Amino acid sequence: MSLDLARALAATLPEGVDGLFNPYRDRCELDDPRSPEGGPEGRLQRLAAHLSRAPRLVLCGEAPGYQGCRYSGVAFVSERQLLDGVIPGIDRLSGRLTTRDKSFAEPSATIVWKALFKLGVAEQAITWNALQMHPHRPGSPWTNRTPTNAELAHGRAALHLLREAFPGMAFVAVGRKSTMLLADAGIEAAATIRHPANGGAVEFNNGLAALLQR
């Protein structure tokens, strides 16, 4: 079921949109061609593994970053974390995903999973993005930018699929863009918390802890 769900989620995303990298269809020049775990199919398989559990909540961020989901295929997950084998439900990588000298590490991914483990809910959480495509500046794939409202709308159908697949799961909006798209999709957020990026780690941690204490 989880691979079917992952494929269905990926199928909602458009192809060939300038400034948006589709992790499940597009290939990046840094994808390691020697790795069976790299590239679009590897990212899809990891997403399926991530969705194979019975989650209590989903942390819904804004969009993939070039240090994280662009190569991992899972929101708030980096190549470094996959090499360390610290993400529940996803096997430790047998090799690299990219040809970069050092594996990518994403600060937000580190903050999110540290908090989930500390609060004892890492095994009961999944991570997603309002838009599961990486927005970057034209001609600069290793940059991040805020998605436009029109781009954000590409993520609405996937949110509905997640709601149907996990009807009892609580959606947690992480950041303003996530809050906006969940409301637009008619999905009630159990809470809205600060995105951990750009100095938001303390507010993110406090917001998640407050939610779980309810």
pLDDT tens, 14-57?
A: 999 999 999 999 999 999 999 999 999 999 999 999 999 889 99
Contact 81, 113 (CB under 8 A): yes
Mean pLDDT score across all residues of the chain: 97
pLDDT of 113? 99
Q: What's the CATH code of the domain at 166?
A: 3.40.470.10
The model's confidence at residue 1, banded by pLDDT at 50, 70 and 90, is: low
Write out pLDDT tens, residues 67-88. 999 999 999 999 999 999 999 9
Look at the chain and report how many structural domains it folds into: 1
pLDDT of 158? 98
| pTM of the predicted model as reported, rounded to 2 decimal places | 0.96
Write out pLDDT tens, residues 161-207. 999 999 999 999 999 999 999 999 999 999 999 999 999 999 999 99
pLDDT of 196? 98
pLDDT of 35? 93
pLDDT of 67? 98
pLDDT of 195? 98
Mean pLDDT, range 151-159, rounded to an integer: 98
Does the structure show a pLDDT above 90 at 124? Answer: yes
Domain assignment of residue 195, given as a range: 2-212
pLDDT of 212? 94
Mean pLDDT, range 117-125, rounded to an integer: 98
Bridge partner list, 135: 20
